[in-house]
Amino acid sequence: MKKNSINIIGGGLAGSEAAFFLSKHGVKVNLFEMRPDVETPAHKTGLLGELICSNSLKSNRLDTGGGLLKAELNILESSLLKIAEENQVKSGAALTVDRKSFSEEITRLISESKNISLIREEVTNPENLEKPILIASGPLTSPGLSGWMKSVLGEKHLYFYDAISPIISWESINQDKGFFESRYGKGSKNIFNLPMSDTEYKNFWTELTNGEVTPLKEVDKLIYFESCLPVEEIARRGIKSLLFGPLRPVGFENPKAKGAKAVLQLRPESPEGQFFNLIGFQTRLKYGEQKRIFRLVPGLEEVEFIRFGSMHRNTFINSPAHLKNNLQFKKLSGVYLAGQISGVEGYIESVMSGLIAGISILSSLKGIEFTSPPPESMIGAILKTILTYKKNFQPINANFGLVPALITKIKNKKERRNAQAERALRTLKNWSDGFVEKI
């Protein structure tokens, strides 16, 4: 290797994953993280790899996008996925983590790594740093750095909003009104459910749709992303929309759910189960309105809010126009981009993007040409999509719609996806053995 060091901007999910990968391969990493001195509108701590909304890293099932993506990351020995698995909270079929111990462990391992220097500083002009540089500053990139990107890329940024679900305390719930069970009995049973009658639901829906929301800043353009729509926005689409979404009353055997019009689900936030989040209840309602409206749900009459839901700007660049297949900027040699800002959407997708950027940078440091992951794999399919998207680019999360069809048609959806997953894992393993292992 001619050069053996890298500057990474952002110690979030993508930046930390890339730092772990490169440091394990003997590269000296300077990891710049601006928190806690400079804050973002959503992070609450100075910890690396902080999860800012849900504590779920999605399903583990291979016939789901998130499940397949995690299986592929396991083949590539993702460091953050390993830490997530070691810090999980049992919850249905999903990989759900204790957010505090997850981020604390990332921070501890990075701080103790002899190849990584953690520098608590905001970078506003990467041109002052030596190349290679990886920008992994996330959806809440500081205004200074996004201003630099805007000036260099010469193109307008794109903005949209995400929403955070409220977290409530277990002891403040009237537990007699609900029951533990996971829908259709899948996975463990520590999801707590609160049923609502027809009258209770109608009253709740009316108040929710009329609730006062935080005003939008004029400069921000509102583009909702379908997988993280605010609950009041889903409700406004019609009185039944929540009943087919987060409040669907199906898949329960407990007698308390019999005849229920709607069921609100609560997911544990910590292994001790003292905090729960309201699943699918990301919101832009004002805090006072959240108290008033969510307390209409039977069982939550006197609930204590540990954290209110909220909504924030999310920044990403037009990757198809600006990135090469190795995640390097077309205009800026030696500068790479990873994570949510590159147009992937989601925690695990950001981890994946950081890992691929790490692999790409290592190959470049060693003078080996980067080979893209196979398009049949979920990783390859996501990257191919963000690099070739034609019009109105929007962030992409892991889903089977991106994976190419099989040559032989399989009618049954589950069987078809399992066959696609088997092919994805096989081709990714070949890529790993034939390229990654040889760098």
Ligand X SMILES: Cc1cc2nc3c(=O)[nH]c(=O)nc-3n(C[C@H](O)[C@H](O)[C@H](O)COP(=O)(O)OP(=O)(O)OC[C@H]3O[C@@H](n4cnc5c(N)ncnc54)[C@H](O)[C@@H]3O)c2cc1C
* From candidates 8, 19, 29, 34, binder to ligand X by CB under 6 A: 34
Q: Which one, 140 or 196, has the nearer CB to ligand X?
A: 140
* CA separation for the pair 123, 335 (Å, rounded): 14
Q: Is 249 a binder of ligand X (CB under 6 A)? A: no
| DSSP H/E element including 21 | helix 13-24
Q: Is residue 40 close enough to count as binding ligand X by CB under 6 A?
A: yes
Q: Which of 236, 307, 312, 429 binds ligand X (CB under 6 A)?
A: 312
Select from 77, 122, 200, 233 the one that contacts ligand X (CB under 6 A): 122
* Least distance from ligand X to the Cβ atom of residue 304, Å: 22
| Among 7, 23, 30, 54, interactor with ligand X by CB under 6 A | 54
The residue number with the shortest CB distance to ligand X is 12
Instruction: Confirm if 339 and 48 have CB atoms less than 8 A apart.
Output: no
> For residue 262, which of 278, 281, 245 has the smallest C-alpha distance?
245
How are beta strands 167-169 and 275-278 bridged, if at all? antiparallel
Q: Least distance from C-beta 187 to ligand X, angstroms?
A: 18
Please identify which residue in 8, 18, 29, 53 interacts with ligand X, judged by CB under 6 A: 53
Pick the closer one to ligand X by CB: 257 or 332.
Answer: 332
Nearer to ligand X, 174 or 227 (CB): 227
Residue number, 249 or 395, with CB nearest to ligand X: 395
How many chain residues touch ligand X (CB under 6 A)? 38
Q: Does 123 bind ligand X (CB under 6 A)?
A: yes
Q: Mind giving me the DSSP string for 306-354?
A: EE--EEEEEEE--HHHHB-TTSBBSSSTTEEE-SGGGTB-SHHHHHHHH
C-beta of 179: minimal distance to ligand X in Å?
25
Among 263, 140, 151, which residue's Cα sits nearest to residue 204?
263
x/- string (CB under 6 A) for ligand X, residues 126-165?
----------xxxxxxx-xx----------------x-x-
Question: Is beta strand 94-97 parallel, antiparallel or unpaired with respect to 56-59?
Answer: antiparallel
Q: How far apart are CA 208 and CA 230, in angstroms?
A: 11
Element housing 430 (H / E): helix 413-434
> What tokens appear for 267 in the block?
């997911």
**Which region among 13-21, 85-93, 102-110, 166-174 touches ligand X (by CB under 6 A)?**
13-21
Taking the least distance from each CB to ligand X, the nearer of 96 and 340 is 340
Query: What is the rounded CA–CA span in Å between residue 353 and residue 136?
Result: 9
End-to-end Cα separation, the chain, in angstroms = 11
**203: how many CB neighbours lie within 10 A of its CB?**
14
From candidates 42, 80, 173, 355, binder to ligand X by CB under 6 A: 42
- Contact status: 10 vs ligand X (CB under 6 A): yes
Q: Which is nearer to ligand X, 40 or 364 (CB)?
A: 40
> Based on CB atoms, which residue is closest to ligand X, 50 or 289?
50
Cβ contact 339:138 at 8 Å: yes
- Contacting ligand X within 328-357 (CB under 6 A): 339-341, 346-347, 350
User: Per CB under 6 A, does 80 bind ligand X?
Assistant: no
List of residues 6+ apart from 284 with CB closer than 8 A: 161, 163, 213, 214, 230, 232, 233, 309, 310, 311
Q: Which residues bind ligand X (CB under 6 A)?
A: 9-15, 32-35, 40, 42-43, 52-54, 122-123, 136-142, 144-145, 162, 164, 312, 314, 339-341, 346-347, 350
